[in-house]
A and B are shown apart, each in its own frame.
Chain A
Amino acid sequence: MVFGLFKYVDTMADAASKLKTEGIDDIRVFSPVPVDHEMDPVLGEKKNPLRFFTFFGGLSGLFFGALLVLTTAALYVLPRGGKPIWAAPPVLLVSYETTILFGVLMTYFGFLVLSGLIKNFYSTEEKICFPETMDDSFGLLINVRSDREEAVMKILKEFGASEVRTIAWE
């Protein structure tokens, strides 16, 4: 595994592009800010199923809120001066709020799962961290066989990496 540190995003994108043409696909980017806009054209747009978590959360919240109001009103009848036992406003309002509540919580859970943050707790490799990329630098982590590491390091240097090193993990 090779890690290269860059000061500029465009030079990093150029380096990643060159590596891609060399047939190296397992490239990860580390940055202090999102750089999707600059890196996606090179590395390809990512897809993630977060929306399904959000949708499932919202939908379950909708049913939870509606069922809570309707079933409890039916189970414990409180007659209120001829008003309906099942009324639309409380069902709509409570389920509206629970849709949002469950949607938010499931989105957060989905974020933890899909971003790999939960996995990080259990994986040695995923614990590799680059403090420089939290400040002002941008990093490329390239997963290649050890016999190709030398060539990758050369490309990174060629494209202006300020620092290049190999990373070992169990």
Chain B
Amino acid sequence: MSNHGHDEETKVRVDFKEVNRDIFSVMTDTGPRYYVVMALFAMAAVGLFILPWAYQIYNGQGVTGLNVPVVWGVYLVNFVFWVGVAHAGTLISAMLFITKTPWRRAIARSAESMTLLALFLVTLFIFIHMGRPWNFYWTFPYPNQRQLWLNFQSPIMFDVFAIGTYFTSSVVFLYFGMIPDFAALKHHATGWRKQLYSVLSVGWRGSDKEWHVHGKATMFFASFIMPLVVSVHSIVSWDFALSIVPGYTKTVFAPYFVTGALLSGFAGVITMLTLVRWAFPVTKKYITLMHYDRVGVFILVLSLTWSYLTGLEVFTGIYANTTYETEHLIYKLAVSPYIYLFSLMIFCNTVLPLILILKKVRKSTSAMFVMCLFIIVGMWLERYLIIPNSLSRKFLPYMWHDYMPTWVEGAITIGAFCAFVTMFMVMIKIAPIISPFEVKEDSGVPMEKGGH
């Protein structure tokens, strides 16, 4: 095989028995510091996410900065941002599976877990934004009291189907991949864990028939989920692009959003993996610098693509040469504070990632961690500069209105990050964030004649 050397380089060499032991220890060996950190994040999530949301429900949407014409604000910025974060997990597990990229195995599970948790926040942000969350079922296609069905010609309805499908498929894909791992871990577990993993492993024994069907099903799942990833963020972008609002109505939005989503998603993966490596040194055996190197290359390519598309977005606005579009561009690119936010976004997403051209940087966990935090900030700003900003300069000047998020919106935004970290920390303790069987597979089966 021509790429044999490449495959060898990316393999993680481990002893099979050791893998189960190591990964189980990550789930069960919990020091007091872990609980303290988790409790702090949980408290922050309650204080900054749950309570302000309850305050908003009690007092109404008037506590936010949303007002005509800026009716889409920070909540939808967060919605789009978290959909983006969700994308990398599926990309790593599905796209890299289909292209038979071996290094994906050790990091795919944690990335998939991130997808699930991010999608949970995505769903919440829709209801936070809409107000009256108890009417959530109004978005479902069922005949209501007026015997009218939902308007399927609205991109918002496309979103319901896209996000619903993405969430369901991600849950199935994540759980399905975990079945052999739950079966392996149930033999190490005791008490409630044993009972839980016995139920979740649905009688898996690792027979040749089971593995055969599992392999085929993984291929089908990956083949379904790959176009789904592209469609979901394209559809999210059409929430904006199918309107006639200056700043929204751009044909480039679908690839622009997908690229941005993957950029923020990969940054999110590196951030969380660095924290996992830091909290559980045993995982350094599996999540290696080689992973940072490979993901770093991805981030570099995505950053360059994103930068090109950003230039294209601005240029097509200028080229359109309509007063509405021009006013929007002036507001976004030349008016304080947005000129500073735009510059910061370009610094975070275009300038800073250029240093990834150096292998030394790609192989430095701390440099990658810091840079990914900047990218996360940059990608959040990108969505902010598109969503509320475009509405602030909507057509005629009598409609112009500056939007400023209130403390409620700010708190919920920060609280969402805390909720994400809390959920991830709980997930680490319940489900294996590194797949034992995939790591073993990566290592190669033991052979008496000729090593692995």
Contact = CB atoms under 8 A, between A and B. Distances in A.
B440 interface: yes
A154 interface: no
A117 interface: yes
B contact patch SS: helix
Contact of A35 (B152, B162, B445): B445
Please classify how large the interface on chain A is, using the bins under 10, 10 to 19, 20 to 34, 35 or more: 35 or more
Interface string A87-113: 101100110111011011101101110
17 contacts: A7-B448, A32-B437, A34-B211, A34-B215, A48-B216, A50-B220, A54-B220, A76-B148, A100-B169, A108-B176, A115-B214, A117-B203, A117-B204, A120-B203, A128-B205, A133-B205, A134-B184
A26 interface: no
Given A127-B203, A135-B184, A32 B153 contact: no
B386 interface: no
Contact of A72 (B17, B149, B228, B448): B149
A9 B217 contact: no
A111 B217 contact: yes
Given A35-B445, A108-B172, A136 B213 contact: no
Nearest to B169: A104
B16 A136 contact: yes
B208 A100 contact: no
Interface of A: 7-11, 28-36, 38-39, 43, 46, 48, 50-51, 54, 58, 65, 68-69, 72-73, 75-76, 78, 80, 83, 87, 89-90, 93-94, 96-98, 100-101, 103-105, 107-108, 110-112, 114-117, 120-121, 126-131, 133-136, 138, 160
Given A104-B165, A108-B217, 8 more contacts: A8-B446, A46-B208, A58-B224, A73-B152, A87-B153, A97-B228, A111-B217, A116-B207
A131 B214 CA distance: 19
A7 B205 CA distance: 18
The 10 closest A-B pairs by CB, nearest first: A136-B16, A120-B203, A72-B149, A8-B448, A29-B208, A115-B213, A134-B184, A34-B211, A97-B161, A111-B217
Contacts of B187: 131, 134-135
A97 B141 CA distance: 14
A94 B152 contact: yes
A52 to B, nearest CB: 11
Contacts of B157: 90, 94
B158 A93 contact: yes
A73 B211 CA distance: 45
B144 to A, nearest CB: 10
Contacts of A32: 16, 184, 206, 436-437, 440
Contacts of B151: 78, 80
Contacts of A136: 15-17, 446
Nearest to A99: B224
Interface residues of B, number: 60
Given A46-B208, A108-B176, A101 B221 contact: no
A114 to B, nearest CB: 5
Interface string B212-243: 11111100110011011001000100000000
B183 A134 contact: yes
Contacts of A104: 165, 168-169, 172-173, 221, 224-225
Contacts of A129: 205
Contacts of A114: 209, 213
Nearest to A139: B206
A155 to B, nearest CB: 17
B210 A116 contact: yes
A68 B206 CA distance: 41
A41 B39 CA distance: 53
Nearest to A55: B220
A126 B203 CA distance: 9
A34 B446 contact: no
Interface in B132-187: 141, 147-153, 157-158, 161-162, 164-165, 168-169, 172-173, 176, 183-184, 187
A50 B223 CA distance: 14
A101 B164 contact: yes
Nearest to B18: A136
B158 A9 contact: no
A38 B176 contact: no
A38 B445 contact: yes
B36 interface: no
B147 to A, nearest CB: 7
B448 A68 contact: no
Contacts of B207: 28-30, 116
Contacts of A112: 202
B171 to A, nearest CB: 10
A10 B152 contact: no
A133 B206 contact: yes
A39 B206 CA distance: 14
Contact of A111 (B183, B213, B437, B449): B213
B392 interface: no
B8 interface: no
Contacts of B153: 80, 83, 87, 89-90
Contacts of A134: 20, 183-184, 187, 206
